[in-house]
Amino acid sequence: MYFCAFNIILVQDPWWGNIGRAKHIDPSQHVIYGTVNSPNWICLIPPGSSGPRGPGVVIYIRKGVKGLTFRFSDILPAHPDILAIDIYIHKSRTSIINVYLHGEHHNDALTHLISHPIPADHPLIIAGDFNLHHHEWALKGSSKAKAKPSLAAESLHDWIVENDLHIVNDFNTPTRRGRGKQEDSIIDLTIWNRHAMNAFQSFNWECSEEGSADSDHNAITWTLTPHDQVDTSGVTEPSPGYVIDEALKNEWVTAYKQAIEQAEIPSSPRTAEEAERSAQIILEAMSNATSKVMPIKKTGKRGIRSPWWNEECSRALRAVKEGTGRDSDTRADLASALRGAIRRARRSHADRICQRISTADEAFKVTNWYKGKRCAPLPPIKFQGNLVTHPADKAKAFTETFFPKHSSPNISLEPHGVPYVPKRDFHPITEEEILNALSNSSNTSAPGAFGTNYRLLKWAFAETPGIITGFYNSCLNLGYHPICLRNAVISIIPKPRRPDMALPKSYRPISLLETLSKCLEKVIANRLIFEAGKFDLIPQSQFGGRDLTSCTDAGLCLMHDIRTLWAKGKYVSLLTMDVSGYFNNIDHARLTYTLDRLGYANEICQWISSYLTNRTAQPKVDNVLCDPIALPSVGVPQGSPLSPILSSLYSIPLLCSIQDTNAHTFAYIDDFSILVYSHSHSHNVDILQDLVDNANTTLSYLGLDFEIPKSDLIHFVSPRQRPSSTKLVIHHIDGNEYVIEPRHVVRWLGFYLDQKLDFKDHVRYMSNKANAVLSGLKMLANTVRGLSVKHARLLYITCVRPILTYGSLLWAHGRRQKSLTGVLERSQNIGLRWLLGAFKTTPVRSMEHLASIPPMHVYLRKLSMNAAAKLRALPKQAELARRLPASWGTHDKTAIHTRRSKLAIHQQSPITRLANLSHPQAEPRIPYLNTPWIPDNPYPERLVLIPYAQGKAKGTRVDTTKNANRLIDALVHEGTLVGFADGSKVVTEGECRVGLGFSITLKGKEIGSHSRGIGPRADNYDAEMLAIALLAQNCVAIAEERRIRSIHIFSDNQSAVMTINSPKAHPAQYASLFFREHVHAFLANDSSRTFTVQWIPGHSGIPGNNRADSLANLGAQAVPTPLFDRTATWIKSNASDTAREAWIQVWNQSKCSEHTRRFMPNPPSLKINAVFAKDPPSCQVSSRLVQLITGHGFYGEYRARFFPNEDTSCTCGEAIQTVPHYLFQCPHTEAQRHYLTRISPDLNPAILFGSPKGLAAIIRFIEHSDIGCPT
């Protein structure tokens, strides 16, 4: 291609339009505007250009050109039609200004250009379309050479002369070709200063039609070369990046291990110097192994052409080039042909990618296509009254904004509500803790300065676990964090929808830490969180930075309080406030004091103090890693795993400062809210003024401050109350006075709360956000091309439905809420039509059935029932648990409750509604039973769990069964005590029965067995877990009695095998605790004993498993002896069963056509139809299948209903073309009908459309015929 020879392209009057969709509550903000982009080029647009009116200029710079760097220039302020950049070629600076003077903005742009001083200290080139004629640059011999110039042209000419600038153009060569009766002219100028003249002796200015495509402007080219005016101030070549290839893991591990061995790293450093050296050795070993083994990300190599470009595009482009001299109509046709070729090529390329998708990760990756994300340097930033563009100057602007220069003088080292807790002992870090931290870490996380990500650290730890564990423990024992791990790379992230991106506050800093440090931080954070929950160190009104809480919990508690207070006749008001710069203003001395007072071990307190002391940061701006800067003794790194929990601990005094019987506080990290109630809204404001004064005073002791202008006030109004406009006046301690007007709707933790709490605004906003995502997803699939139904459904369920239903637990009670659920249903219907490729007229109930997505009101009920399962897993002191009804054990009389029991359902607390979906005697789950530093399995060599994952494929199951039988035979000969456990769930006459059974054998003979029923409100998983636990108890008793040292038990439930030894708060936790009690005691008493729990395939002919299965079936028929009123697994299973039954009822009651009943014979299911799930058909075929089943497609019968004036006959002559005719009778599809008769010789629709094999046959029939194709 013509442009392959160039690295910088200046474009005037670029295309500008819709490039994506933004997730926004305002539909007018959904469209993301931008211009053409390429993966091989960086696109620079004038800063601030984001609306419908696009810029007049853009600049493209090729990626990966060695020695070529760039940034926005500070020689001109931002303007939509003028863009100034600085180009560095091997550190020699050249400024380029791209100009487009046009239309009504012509004079404004010209004034902007000539009213600012032009630099004279380095080369400068000004180029673009000036749209001005002057005899000084007119084409020789043209009429413009003698015409009087305009005032604008004279102004430009005078400016050129005054600034000693020179025009490079060849005045014998036109830059614009006249069309029709127009004459050729020169209006595209290239202007340079004297420095540029001296620097570029081989400028090679050329102007030709080649490269102009369909434009009437010629392409102008010139050459830039390095010159001797080198700028070295802060210009840093980016360090080389490496491609982490998992195929090279063994080579990397070998190189890493050799480096560790050669360095002779101490296994347990005893001094701070040794710890520092150990950290340096590990970091360098990983870094050097990477540079030695992994390939470098190639730079300087030109990227391949766009992957979608094909031969049709090349032919169309050649035709445009060859047709530049032809008439305007021909040129327009050729240009249109080129655009069409490009559209088809891009569409075909996208289709190929979508059709090749086979995993969920691949499906999620293509969603980036509609998000309109672009990679570009940061715009000029306001700093000290100027706009700065140099990365070093931008870094200074950001660091001065983000990081305070010193701690507040008001810091107080007094308790202020922080309780005194006796010191707790320190326990060494275990390898299991590190493994848990690494297992929850992303392999692709951004690395720190040494460039090592979590994947490499996982490899390193697997090879040298003792060295890394010893290093971590030494850091804690010494109370020292190595200096090389205290440096953070600061990534600058733009905040969304900020009006002025030149302000540093429009960005947030994210610390990219060394993974070696971050892993240790995760271990310590887990311990801090555990102890905070175990010993109730943080006020429960803080819902962030801790475990077992969420925004939804906070919302439920707030709604409970308001509804309950309304029932008592109270007036309720809410004030929301944000703490300004929370993470970056946490005082280190105050934080250490807080941790020490809360009883954390000295080792942890001292290590955190060292971790926070003398930190440095390297801002990464425009891909340039700036010099390190020293950070003050204040702030915690944003991006550190420690930040949330440390900030929550730090804020304890703020939550304790609100001591008023008529007020409650709610906090989520730095979001702080006060709910007050009294006999009037005006009195609420009086209460708030006092409380805010207290909160401001307390915050000053912490060195923090509220961002008062961001505060919101709302007065909630019950049906019997009148709205209030009472304002809140805040007298700040800095002397300023702030007036906060009450609002009708406030945003709080993502919920939009209105005065009446009818949630109409919230639901509308959530629908708008979901519709924005749907409009973006539509580019990924339609009726003929794109994603399969399977993956489109996955994207709808994960990307759209959670937005629609966010906050639904706060308002969805299921009665007379059509005004709310109807809004959500309309959005869901759009998603259903999209993912199925269905016609707009397709009945909603049919689409829900085919997509296996239940009606919205059914799904909302299911969400509530699932949420109810959590109630018995809450800590007793949790705010949500305290607000449960009096029959619940966690009920707290001091919380807000009402004695009124006969409230209308819409007036009830949402917590009460959830409690009615569970039971006080449901299965409990107890958190914080096992400390992080004690391994779940303290006997890893003797207590073995084998939850093999294979076994689904028929051949694999056969082999697994043979191996299991051989193993059992070997165990029999060895004298091992062998047990088999199983569970059973049967439904008899509508009654659910669950039983368990186990069998114990020794030397091939059964010596014990048991079976029992565990009640109707339990699930098979509960039976499997309890069966293993009871079997383990009996095996241990027999083994101790007979002095047997080895026990081996089998179960056919993989989940049960994986979970049986876990003490965490999971379903059937009671079984795990029972198992651990007996098995761990058995192993502790004799170091030669072993215990194995192994999975085997069920119903595969293994005698012991068959015996356990028969015992479980007997137990299911026995009189049940339930442990709880209902189990956690049953609650969730019942939620699905209830949703399915409710959906079936809706389906049966819906007004469906005879066609629908005939071709959709099965009831709806929550699981995706097998025909879409396994080997999903193409988008076009699945769309035709949906249209065939629903009857809403390209059929004569459909046209007769909706377009009666169109032809309704079949091509065979049948008067009305119906689906049954086309399928079963039409002679034109006779050749394909054998696909159907193989499955159903009599062509029975119930068989063809009611079974997976039948639907698969229908798909083959569609693929080989033209049924459902538009004619």
Residue 951 binned pLDDT confidence (cut-offs 50, 70, 90): very low
Region class of 1225: left (phi > 0), else alpha (psi between -120 and 50), else beta: alpha
Q: Does residue 1212 carry a pLDDT above 60?
A: yes
Distance from the Cα of residue 156 to its chain's centroid:
51
Closest listed residue to residue 378, CA positions, set 525, 285, 512, 509: 509
How large is the average pLDDT for residues 708-735? 94
Helices 328-356 and 311-322, packing angle to 10 deg:
170
Q: Does residue 504 carry a pLDDT above 50?
A: yes
How large is the average pLDDT for residues 1110-1132? 95
What would the pLDDT profile of 372-404 be if each residue is shown by its tens digit?
877 788 889 999 988 888 888 999 999 999 998
Contact call for residues 430 and 274 (beta carbons, < 8 A): no
| pLDDT value of position 239 | 62
| pLDDT value of position 2 | 47
DSSP codes of every residue in 729-772: EEE-TTS-EEEE-B-SEEEETTEEEETT---HHHHHHHHHHHHH
Q: What is the mean pLDDT of the chain?
A: 93
Residue 235 binned pLDDT confidence (cut-offs 50, 70, 90): very low
Q: Does residue 21 carry a pLDDT above 70?
A: yes
| Longest Cα separation, the chain | 118
Distance CA 1055, CA 1061 (A): 11
What would the pLDDT profile of 405-461 be if each residue is shown by its tens digit?
888 999 999 999 999 999 999 999 999 999 999 998 988 887 887 888 999 999 999
Strand, helix or coil at 57? Answer: strand
3-state secondary structure 1206-1260: CCCCCCCCCCCCCHHHHHHHCHHHHHHCHHHHCCCCCCCHHHHCCCHHHHHHHHH
Closest listed residue to residue 1217, CA positions, set 1206, 1240, 1249: 1206
What would the pLDDT profile of 638-669 be if each residue is shown by its tens digit?
889 999 999 999 999 999 999 899 999 999 99
Q: Does residue 816 carry a pLDDT above 90?
A: no
What would the pLDDT profile of 677-713 be if each residue is shown by its tens digit?
999 999 999 999 999 999 999 999 999 999 999 999 9
Distances (CA, A) of 564 to 411, 550, 723, 917: 39, 21, 19, 19
Q: Does residue 553 carry a pLDDT above 80?
A: yes
Alpha helices in 950-1068 (DSSP H): 954-974, 1020-1042, 1054-1059
Contact call for residues 32 and 14 (beta carbons, < 8 A): no
Contact call for residues 395 and 680 (beta carbons, < 8 A): no
Share of residues in the chain with pLDDT > 70 (%):
97
Distance CA 476, CA 459 (A): 23
Distance CA 374, CA 367 (A): 14
Contact call for residues 87 and 321 (beta carbons, < 8 A): no
| pLDDT value of position 231 | 65
How large is the average pLDDT for residues 722-726? 96
| pLDDT value of position 329 | 82
SS3 content of the chain, % helix, strand, coil (to 5): 45, 15, 40
Q: Does residue 234 carry a pLDDT above 60?
A: no
Distance CA 60, CA 7 (A): 8
Query: For residue 590, what are the β-bridge partners?
Result: none
The H or E element containing residue 647 is helix 643-650
What would the pLDDT profile of 974-1014 be if each residue is shown by its tens digit?
999 999 999 999 988 778 999 999 999 999 999 999 999 99
Distance CA 1067, CA 1062 (A): 11
| Amino acid identity at 65 | V
The residue written with tokens 């271990």 in the block is 523
| Length reported for the chain | 1271
Indicate if the alpha-carbon torsion angle 1058, 1063, 1069, 1070 is positive or negative: positive
Q: Does residue 238 carry a pLDDT above 60?
A: no
What are the structure tokens assigned to 510, written together? 């994210």
Distance CA 669, CA 586 (A): 12
How large is the average pLDDT for residues 609-613? 97
Closest listed residue to residue 280, CA positions, set 489, 491, 449: 449
| pLDDT value of position 496 | 81
Indicate if the alpha-carbon torsion angle 880, 881, 883, 887 is positive or negative: positive
Strand, helix or coil at 523? Answer: helix
Distance from the Cα of residue 254 to its chain's centroid:
35
Distance CA 88, CA 763 (A): 52
Residue 296 binned pLDDT confidence (cut-offs 50, 70, 90): confident
| pLDDT value of position 1194 | 94
Distance CA 263, CA 934 (A): 32
Q: Computed over its alpha carbons, how large is the radius of gyration of the chain?
A: 36
How large is the average pLDDT for residues 829-851? 97
How large is the average pLDDT for residues 116-133? 94
How large is the average pLDDT for residues 49-54? 88
What would the pLDDT profile of 318-352 be if each residue is shown by its tens digit?
888 787 667 778 888 988 999 999 999 999 999 99
Of 237-246, 693-702, 1234-1243, 1246-1255, least confident by mean pLDDT is 237-246
- Alpha carbons within 13 angstroms on the beta-carbon side of residue 710 total 14
Residue 1 binned pLDDT confidence (cut-offs 50, 70, 90): very low
Query: For residue 817, what are the β-bridge partners?
Result: none
Strand, helix or coil at 522? Answer: helix
Region class of 1167: left (phi > 0), else alpha (psi between -120 and 50), else beta: beta
The residue written with tokens 């008592």 in the block is 568
Residues with Cβ within 8 Å of residue 404, at least 6 apart in sequence: 581, 584, 585, 632, 634, 635
